[in-house]
Every structure is written in structure tokens, then in C-alpha cells.
Copies of this chain bind each other. A is one copy, B any other.
Amino acid sequence: MKRFIQVAKLKPEMTGEYRRLHAAVWDDVVKTIKECNIKNYTISLDGNTAISYFEYVGDDYEKDMAKMEADPVTREWWKHTKPCFSGHDQSVYYADCDEIFHLD
């Protein structure tokens, strides 16, 4: 199992929209996330910064992320969520942080 903490900057005016979207995530998006071997996935907001924590329990993270990217429903979902992000590089939304401590 590999843990991830990631951060992404949201546009201030889109933070409410990002929150609303995540209060009612589509069932098929959740299904795909699980099928891509992600569990215990939490997103929190610190002002305009979105912070995610999740655990990857598969054995090929790149392959599973490619599978997620290829999923039509997930791509449709991202059409709603991606305009919320402020990053100028449209290929990167959440960036990995650097783990310095873990206690089971």
C-alpha cells in the first residue's frame, strides 16, 4: 500500500463549486476510483487549497491512473471539476507532497 497526500490550488471564485460537486460525486466516478485500487480517499479544503489523502492498494499505479483517465464518465466529471483549478498547467491538478512521517 502506498499513501498519497496531494495539494491543488483552486480559483477563489470556484471553491464553492468544487465543494458542491464533491457533496454529490457521481456514483460511477466513485466506482471507477475503487476499481483503480484507491481506498480511504478524503479531500479537505484549506481556504482555496484542496488537500487530498488516499491509499493506493494496487500494484501498478501508472496503469491504474491511465485506466481512470480513459474512463468516459470520469472524463465527463473532470469537465466539471477541472475549471475549478487555478493551475496554468492543465495537465497537473493535484501535486504529490513529500511524506516525512508515518505511524500506523
A25-76 contacts to B (CB < 8 Å): 25, 30, 33-34, 38-46, 49-51, 53
Task: Report A's interface with B, CB cutoff 8 A.
Answer: 3, 5, 7, 18-19, 22-23, 25, 30, 33-34, 38-46, 49-51, 53, 95, 97-104
A–B pairs, 28, beta carbons within 8 Å? A3-B42, A5-B42, A5-B46, A5-B51, A5-B53, A7-B46, A7-B49, A19-B100, A22-B100, A22-B101, A23-B100, A30-B103, A34-B103, A39-B104, A41-B103, A42-B53, A42-B101, A42-B102, A43-B100, A43-B102, A44-B99, A45-B98, A46-B95, A46-B97, A46-B98, A50-B100, A51-B51, A53-B53
